[in-house]
Chain A
Amino acid sequence: MPANSLLIAGGTVIDPEQRLEAARDVLIKDGRIEDMAAGLAKKERLSGVARIEAAGCWVTPGLIDMHVHLREPGGEADETIASGTRAAARGGVASVLAMPNTEPPIDSPALARLLAAKAREAGAVNVLVAGALTLGQKGERLTEAARLKEAGAVALSDDGRPVMDSGLMRRAMEYARDAGLLVIDHCEDASLSQGGCLHEGAAATAKGLRAIPWASETVMVLRDIALCELTQAPIHLAHLSCAQSVAALRSAKKRGLPVSAEATPHHLLLCEDDMPGYDADFKMNPPLRGKADRQALLEALADGTIDAIATDHAPHRPQRKELPLELAAFGVIGLETALGLALTRLAAKGALSRRKLIERMSCAPARLLGLKSKGSLRRGADADVTVIDPAASWTVKPPFESLSRNTPFAGLRLKGRARATIVGGRVAYAL
C-alpha cells in the first residue's frame, strides 16, 4: 500500500451526515476517504499502512469553524495564518472560514487569491475565504460577488463593520445569492450599541460602563429576516447572543425562510455576571448577556434553530487587552478551546448529544457554506477527520498555538480534546 494512505483504527465513527455511530476503521487514500468498515484494520493487505490508533476515541468528520479572524494580512502581531491554523489543528478544527476584516479587507478577487495562496503555503488546516460584502467594508458599494466566487470565496461578510444601510443589504443579498455565495451578517445597529462595552444590565451598571442593549442585535436580525423574506436569498446570522434574536430566528425558520445562524462557545457558556472585575478577556462584541439569553441559546442549539457552533476566534495581543476595559479591544480566542468546552459543558452535561455536537461543528457549517465534499466521512469525501479523545483531561492555559492568549476560559479544567486532526489525508496535529 502506498505511503499516501492512512488508517484510523479501532475508534467509534460518529458521522451525523450518514446517521452513523458505530465501531469502524477508516481508510484514507490520496486525500480522500477510501473506505470505512468494521475490522478493516485486520485486513492483511493493509498491514503496512500507517495508522492512528483510535481505541476509545471518536472518529468524526473534520470540524469546521465558520467564523475565524486570522488577522493576516495587517494584524500579524495578533495572529498569522500559520499560527491561527496551528491553533485550529490543535483544537480539532480541519477547516476555518477566514473573516475578511483584515488590513486591507479582502474585497477584491486579487486579494482573495493572494490570501488563498498564502493559506495553501502556510496553513496547517484548510482556510476557506470569506470576501467582504462591500468595498473596504465601508458599507457603500458592493464587492464583485461572482468574481470573488471564482477566486475561491465561499461567503461574503462585513463582519465587524455592521451593514447599516438596508437598501444596500438587500442588493448584497440578492447579488450574493445569484453568485452562489452565503451572506454572513454581524447583526448590530450601531446607533443603539454606540460606545457600549458590556451588555446593558446590572453588571455593566455596577461597573459604571456604557452598555449595549440586546435590541441592537435583534433590530438587525429582524431587518435581515424581512429582507430574506423579500428576496428569498439565504442569510446567515453570526454569533447570536440574545433570547429575542433566537425567537425571531425560530419564527422565521417556521415560515420556511432560508435563514441560518451560529452561536459561540462563550455566549453558550458564559453570561454578564461571569466577568471578574474589569477583565478584558471577557469583553467581546456582541457582549456576554443575561442568564435567560444563555439558556435560550442552549435550547436553540439543541433543537437546531441555531445551526452551528462557531468561535468568532478574535486574537488580540496583550497590549490591546491589558487596558482599562473601555479601551481594550473586543474579542476572544476560541479555536483551541471550542471542542473541549463543547464536550465538557454541553455533551457531558446532557445539553447536546454527541451526534448533535458533531453535526453543529462539522456537518452544518459544510452544508451552509456549500462544501459538498466536507462534513461527512462517506466514501470519496475529503479526508478531513478529527479524532477525539472524550476522556482526556486537560487545563486551558498558555502556551497556546495562537499568538494571543485572550481567553475567558483560562484555568478551566476540561474533559475531552482532539487526539488528532487530519486535513486532506495529512496529519496536521497529533497529541
Chain B
Amino acid sequence: MAAISWDRKDLLGLETLSSGEIEGILDAAAPFADNPRSRGKALSGRLVAFFFSEPSTRTRSSFEAAAKRLGADVLGLSAAGSSAAKGETLLDSLRNLEAVGAEYLVVRQELSGALEPLASKLKASLLNAGDGCHEHPTQALLDVLTLRRKKGRIKGLRVVIVGDILHSRVARSNIHALTALGARVTVCGPSALIPAGIERLGARVSHDLNAALAGADAVNVLRQQLERQNRNLIASLPDYAGRYGLSPERLAGHKDLLILHPGPVNRGVELDSACADGPQSAILEQVANGVAVRMAVFSLLASWRARHAR
C-alpha cells in the first residue's frame, strides 16, 4: 500500500479533506478491520484524553478501545452539563488536559464549529467526536468503510440518508465523504427536517422514501428523536415512522440494499427490529469498523506528530 500523505495535526471534519486523504484513512483502517484482534504501538506511552460534554457511550468506548489497542493510556473527563457559557471555557478545559500530558484530545460538544478556532491554540491533536449539528467525521468514515467492504467500492454507489438531516452531524459528514469519493447521495425526510441549500453540499433531496430507495445500494437510517415533536418538526413518532421508517414491507424488492444505522436504534420508529437484525443490516459491522477507523486516525495523527516532533 502506498505511503499516505497525511499532513494534519487534527481531525475536525471531512468537508475540507480531499478524496485522497479520505481514502488514505480507509486504507489505513483496512488491516485493522481485517484482523479485529490486531494491536499496534502507535500510541505506546501516549496519553489520550476524552472530553465529552454530551453523553455518548458508543462513540466514546469505540475511541477508547482504539486508543488502548494502540498502546495508549486514556483519561476520561465527562463535563457534566458543561457549555462554554458556564464557567470554564472549552479552551481552558482542553488546555488543562494538555497540561496533564494528553497529546490527543477526543472532544464531543453540543455547539457547531466550537472546535475549529481552538485547534491552532493547542499543541495536542484534536479529534472531533461530534460538534453540534456540524460534523462527526469518524462516524462517517466508519460508515464509508463498511460500505466499501460490503460493496467493494464507493464510486457510483447510490446511498440514501433518511431521517433528521437538519440536526444530523452524521448526515453532513457522510455527504462530504461519499460525494468526495464519487457516490450519489440522496437525503430523504420530511421538509421540516431537510435543511435549506443542502443540494449545495452535493446531495439530492427527496421527501418520498419509497421513491428514494428505488435503485439504491445502501440506506443510512438516522435516529429520530422524540424531542423534535415539541418544535412541531414532526407531528408524532408514529406519523413519522409510517412515512420514513424502514419496515420489512418497505424493504421488499430491495434485497441488495445494505442498511446502516449510527445507533442506538429506536426500534419500531426509524427501523423495525426485523430490519435491524436481518441479513441486510450492517449495524454490528459498523461498530467493529468504528474501532478500526479510529485506530487508523490515531495512527495517522501519531505519524504526523512523530514527523513534527521538535
Contact = CB atoms under 8 A, between A and B. Distances in A.
Interface of A: 200-211, 213, 277-278, 323-327
B188 to A, nearest CB: 16
A326 B112 contact: yes
B113 A277 contact: yes
Given A324-B111, A327-B85, A208 B200 contact: no
A359 B74 CA distance: 66
Nearest to A279: B117
Given A208-B172, A327-B84, A202 B111 contact: no
A202 B196 contact: yes
B113 A206 contact: no
B199 to A, nearest CB: 8
A202 B201 CA distance: 8
Contact of A208 (B85, B112, B196): B112
B132 A278 contact: no
B134 interface: yes
Interface in B110-143: 111-114, 116-117, 131-135
Closest 7 CB pairs of A and B: A202-B197, A208-B134, A208-B133, A278-B113, A202-B200, A324-B114, A208-B112
Nearest to B196: A200
B11 to A, nearest CB: 16
Tell me the interface secondary structure of chain B in the complex.
loop
B169 interface: yes
Contact of A324 (B84, B135, B196): B84
Which has the most chain B C-beta neighbours within 10 Å: A206, A208, A209, A210?
A: A208
Interface of B: 15, 83-85, 90, 111-114, 116-117, 131-135, 169, 172, 195-201
Given A323-B84, A324-B84, A324-B111, A201 B116 contact: no
Nearest to A203: B197
Nearest to B201: A206
29 contacts: A200-B195, A202-B197, A202-B199, A202-B201, A204-B195, A204-B196, A205-B195, A206-B15, A206-B172, A208-B113, A208-B131, A208-B132, A208-B134, A208-B135, A209-B113, A209-B132, A210-B133, A211-B195, A277-B113, A277-B117, A278-B112, A278-B113, A278-B114, A324-B84, A324-B112, A324-B113, A325-B113, A326-B111, A327-B85
Contacts of A205: 195-198, 200-201
Contacts of B197: 201-206
Contacts of B84: 323-324, 327
B112 A325 contact: yes
Contacts of A201: 196-197
Given A211-B196, A323-B84, 18 more contacts: A202-B198, A202-B199, A202-B201, A205-B196, A206-B201, A208-B112, A208-B132, A208-B133, A209-B132, A209-B134, A210-B133, A277-B113, A278-B116, A323-B85, A324-B111, A324-B114, A325-B111, A326-B112
Contacts of A203: 197
Contacts of B133: 208-210
A210 B133 CA distance: 9
A201 B199 CA distance: 10
A332 B172 CA distance: 29
A312 to B, nearest CB: 24
A187 B195 CA distance: 23
Contacts of A277: 113, 116-117
A431 to B, nearest CB: 35
A279 to B, nearest CB: 8
Contacts of B172: 206, 208
B112 A207 contact: yes
B38 to A, nearest CB: 34
Which has the most chain A C-beta neighbours within 10 Å: B112, B132, B172?
A: B112
B132 A326 contact: yes
Nearest to B198: A205
A211 B195 CA distance: 9
B139 to A, nearest CB: 14
A213 B195 CA distance: 11
Contacts of B113: 207-209, 277-278, 324-325
B169 A208 contact: yes
Contacts of A211: 195-196
A210 B167 CA distance: 9
A210 B131 CA distance: 14
Contact of B117 (A206, A209, A278, A327): A278
Contacts of A327: 83-85, 111
Which has the most chain B C-beta neighbours within 10 Å: A203, A204, A324?
A: A324
Nearest to A200: B196
A164 B65 CA distance: 53
A429 B134 CA distance: 46
Contacts of B198: 202, 205
